[in-house]
Amino acid sequence: MKTILILGAGLSSRRLISYLEEEAKIHHWTIRVGDRDMETVREKVSYPTQAFEFDIQNSLQLAKEVDSATLVISMLPARFHPLVAQACLKSNKSMLTASYESPEIRLMEREVQEKGLFFLNEIGLDPGIDHMSAMQVIERIRNDGHTLTGFESFTGGLVAPESDNNPWHYKFTWNPTNVVLAGWPGPAQFIQCGKIKYIPYSRLFRRIEYMDIEGFGRFEGYANRDSLKYIEKYRLQGVPTVYRGTLRRPGFSKAWDIFVQLGATDNSYVMQNSENMTHREFINSFLYYHPTDSVEVKLYRAFHIDQDSPLIEMLEWLGIFSNEKVGVKDGSPAKILEAILMKKWKLMEHDKDMVVMWHKFNYVDCKSGDEVELTSSMGIIGEEHGNTAMALTVGLPLGIAASLYLQDRIKLTGVFIPIIKEIYEPVLEELKKLGIVFREKVIEKNH
Amino acid sequence: MKTILILGAGLSSRRLISYLEEEAKIHHWTIRVGDRDMETVREKVSYPTQAFEFDIQNSLQLAKEVDSATLVISMLPARFHPLVAQACLKSNKSMLTASYESPEIRLMEREVQEKGLFFLNEIGLDPGIDHMSAMQVIERIRNDGHTLTGFESFTGGLVAPESDNNPWHYKFTWNPTNVVLAGWPGPAQFIQCGKIKYIPYSRLFRRIEYMDIEGFGRFEGYANRDSLKYIEKYRLQGVPTVYRGTLRRPGFSKAWDIFVQLGATDNSYVMQNSENMTHREFINSFLYYHPTDSVEVKLYRAFHIDQDSPLIEMLEWLGIFSNEKVGVKDGSPAKILEAILMKKWKLMEHDKDMVVMWHKFNYVDCKSGDEVELTSSMGIIGEEHGNTAMALTVGLPLGIAASLYLQDRIKLTGVFIPIIKEIYEPVLEELKKLGIVFREKVIEKNH
């Protein structure tokens, strides 16, 4: 009897577990889920899944658990993956994660191959579904003989329209620290029409693109840190435009830029006396001194914000001018800003989130010579009580890949990310059945 | 017979050597000057000063030279000072430098005291003359019983008006790397009216002050990195405003900010293919792609620069749009920008430079209760052929302190910077005789 070992039962493992429980029923597999907090596991598993208390620092326990498993899925923080991978190598077990492939794991490739194992990383949402949905179209365009001239790809995790009660049209649906530090300290690098472009952090949120996603409305996108590494990843050498970015609702970036320009997203130093600082004092510490002007007036003057600008509602709604304590000890500006934002942007028990992904492929049709623009997009609305679209889209690809591997429908040996047909075709097919569908739209531009 | 050992004969030691040669004649001292390049020494010394080839890596030579000296002046790059200091400790010799006191040298304090030696650092221009001229006024205000409420201090090294042939009114008169990286990556920290203020790098060159320096015209100043450390240095605890900055001619900061906003002063990453890049391509790599617009048009649009703006002349004068190669291998943006600027901002053989310093002290008069504003300023125009105001103002305080020490007119034991009366009074007095004079101006503001 095959046993799936899941290490870590945090936010993103809820749908992974429920999906694998259904699969396990059909295929008669056993599932064991370990987390350092038993409560966290218990509220996510159903009979007959086995829950246990797990401590990654306990190497004996790790070896014992891996030994009795057939396949290991690590949902632990990414820094622990190499530890789990070592235990898998020792015990000849295959392993899956939704995290970026680390150099440590890349170095294990030969041993993984020699032992006939399968290590698959980056099989979540982003990285994960982004790789698979993009590579499927890229390969199709190439197999049809067309010439790819541009690839752009944007992903976003936002609040769903039905739970959207704020002028930013945003809530934290994932790690808030990563959201506050997005792009910091820069620059963003990408290639456009054959030229490498650099956007410094201080301009990042001013150089945005707009796009419509059918059924989900209008979005804007700012550039991710490093699009250049995807040239090698996706074998796009010679493609003149490669650009990846993050999706937000229109207006977000212009308002966020105020925090960037203030210096409120800096994570390089600790502010004095942050423990006793109020929201208002935090903002004021970045503004010029004036004997009588209010903090509000100074901020609006410094950034030339008109009285009727929507930025005013956005900033005031966040409570950045309040006399509430920030409640952060020895905080960097970014840490303090995160604490202020958490008070307003926390996804509540009854809130629903939303995941959107949008790709654009430009190519020259090999028969007509026409320039074609093809977009492919996907959107998912989550459910309440932690059944988020984020947990769904991170967990399902992992669960599907695990099931396919245990069914011998993926027969690969080595260290992989899901950019090859043998992985992305069956995973995407199963995702489609589960409602994660990409819609394509073609615009032909005649010469 | 007393011997002064000068290690390093770079740009800033010319006036130091000539001053000490005059003093040596009067007091019958010997001077020995060592540098790894004999040519560099020879062109700066006159008979009977002894020139020799010196290699700081040669510890035997260092020990021998220090052994036969009475006092050591290190003009080497700052990272070598601890080596020289160790040799001085071993051989019971006193030592002077114009560099910031390093933690390594601070740690030597007890041994320096036990051996009855005198280690004096920060005795150049900035640090040096800034400390002395400010402390003299601060102490006077305090001794008169007044309450200091604010201290601001700005220094600048620029091109002299008679050699000013460019719309930036600036040339490199000191380390160009430090000029390009001024304030990067930020933030600038200071205290204003009792509140600690932080300016992020991206706003640094937009928050400037203006000041007039009698006989030298109008200047602007931007904040230095860390003004807070001067609170302890100058014993200004409780003084509500402490601000230090750098002087430029009006208009410089606004234009420089274009490079900051472009990301052209970033020193954190290497640009691809910088070796074959032209000035124009360098600038273009920070701008959005456009199929037909010129690099000039894209830059002016991105920064909302009007057709009649003086910024256009400033940017074009620098040659940033030329098709000349930048000629830098594996360069960061900052390194490449420095190379481009060097082609225009290099101080030529027949150029004269200028050093300006401006302090502002605010205090409440203990008798009248009036708020008083006192400014104290100094300006020096250099001479041609490397006899710069910069070399003069760095070298003279060092030379004067060395002479005073050898004459027993400074009798101190320990590790110092020149913020105490026993040092700054006699040094400033001698500087005044040599033409380095501060002029004061008082404005009383009645309640």
For tokens 């370990």, name the residue: A34
Q: Quick check: B431 and B397 in contact, CB under 8 A? A: yes
The whole-model pTM stands at 0.89
Which pLDDT does position A446 carry in this prediction?
62
Helices (H), A286-361: 295-302, 310-317, 333-345
Cα distances (angstroms) measured from residue A367 to each of A150, A152, A363, B445: 18, 24, 12, 83
For tokens 């936002």, name the residue: A158
Chain A neighbors of B185, CB-CB under 8 A: 185, 268
- Asked whether residue B428 is assigned to any structural domain, the reply reads no
A228 and A153 assigned to the same domain: yes
B7 and B67 assigned to the same domain: yes
Backbone angles phi, psi at A196, to 5 degrees: -70, 130
- From the list A260, A263, A291, the residue facing B187 with the nearest CB is A263
* Chain A: closest CA distance from residue B262 (Å): 7
Q: Which residues contact B367 (CB under 8 A, 6 or more apart)?
A: none
DSSP A121: -
A23 and A81 assigned to the same domain: yes
Q: What is the mean pLDDT of residues A393-414?
A: 98
CATH number of the domain that residue B147 is part of: 3.30.360.10
Flag if B288 and A197 touch (Cβ within 8 Å): yes
Name B381's bridge partners: B354
* Chain B: closest CA distance from residue A82 (Å): 28
B242 and B273 assigned to the same domain: no
Identity at A386, one-letter amino acid code? G
DSSP conformation letters of A132-191: HHHHHHHHHHHHTT-EEEEEEEEEEEEE-GGG--STT---B-S-HHHHHTTT-S--EEEE
For B94-113, write each residue's pLDDT tens digit.
999 999 999 999 999 999 99
Flag if B289 and A192 touch (Cβ within 8 Å): yes
Q: Quick check: B241 and B149 in contact, CB under 8 A? A: yes
Flag if B261 and A285 touch (Cβ within 8 Å): no
Backbone angles phi, psi at A69, to 5 degrees: -105, 165
* Chain B: closest CA distance from residue A258 (Å): 11
Residues of chain B with pLDDT under 70: 446-447
Identity at A113, one-letter amino acid code? Q
Given A69, A93, A121, which residue is the final one in a domain?
A: A121
CB pairs A-B closer than 8 Å: 88
Measured distance CA(B355)–CA(B373) in Å, rounded: 23
Chain B neighbors of A240, CB-CB under 8 A: none
- Asked whether residue B399 is assigned to any structural domain, the reply reads no
A28 and A109 assigned to the same domain: yes
- Asked whether residue A395 is assigned to any structural domain, the reply reads no
Measured distance CA(A394)–CA(A123) in Å, rounded: 8
* Chain A: closest CA distance from residue B192 (Å): 7
Measured distance CA(A211)–CA(A360) in Å, rounded: 10
Q: Supply the range of the domain harboring residue B203.
A: 129-255+349-388+438-444
Number of structural domains in chain B: 3
Using DSSP bridges, classify how beta strands A241-248 and A217-223 pair: parallel, antiparallel or unpaired.
antiparallel
- Asked whether residue A318 is assigned to any structural domain, the reply reads yes
Cα distances (angstroms) measured from residue B2 to each of A14, B8, B25, B29: 82, 19, 12, 5
Which pLDDT does position A445 carry in this prediction?
73
Whether residue A397 is preceded by a cis peptide bond, meaning omega within 30 degrees of 0, is no
DSSP conformation letters of A73-85: EE-S-GGGHHHHH
CATH number of the domain that residue B57 is part of: 3.40.50.720
Q: What is the mean pLDDT of residues A166-177?
A: 95
- From the list A187, A202, A207, the residue facing B288 with the nearest CB is A207
B250 and B147 assigned to the same domain: yes
| Residues 271-300 of chain B whose Cβ lies under 8 A from any Cβ of chain A | 271-273, 284-289, 291
DSSP conformation letters of B334-389: HHHHHHHHHHHHBPPTT--EEEEEEEEEEEE-TTT--EEEEEEEEEEE--STT--H
- Asked whether residue B158 is assigned to any structural domain, the reply reads yes
* Chain A: closest CA distance from residue B189 (Å): 10
- Asked whether residue B63 is assigned to any structural domain, the reply reads yes
B273 → chain A, closest CA residue: A196
Given A99, A121, A143, which residue is the final one in a domain?
A: A121
For B145-175, write each residue's pLDDT tens digit.
999 999 999 999 999 999 999 999 999 998 9
Q: Quick check: A30 and A1 in contact, CB under 8 A? A: yes
For A332-391, write each residue's pLDDT tens digit.
999 999 999 999 999 999 999 999 999 999 999 999 999 999 999 999 999 998 899 999
Given B76, B101, B121, which residue is the final one in a domain?
A: B121
A355 and A341 assigned to the same domain: no
B333 and B354 assigned to the same domain: no
- Asked whether residue A191 is assigned to any structural domain, the reply reads yes
Asked if the model's pLDDT at residue A67 lies above 70, the reply is: yes
Measured distance CA(A329)–CA(A307) in Å, rounded: 35
Which pLDDT does position A447 carry in this prediction?
55
A174 and A323 assigned to the same domain: no
Residue B350: Cβ within 10 Å count: 8
Measured distance CA(B241)–CA(B199) in Å, rounded: 15
The shares of helix, strand and coil residues in chain A, as percent rounded to the nearest 5, are 35, 25, 40
A301 and A380 assigned to the same domain: no
Flag if B263 and A198 touch (Cβ within 8 Å): yes
Q: Which of A226, A266, A332 to mutate to test the interface with B (most CBs of B within 10 A)?
A: A266
A233 and A154 assigned to the same domain: yes
Chain B neighbors of A289, CB-CB under 8 A: 192-193, 195, 197
- Asked whether residue B396 is assigned to any structural domain, the reply reads no
A111 and A11 assigned to the same domain: yes
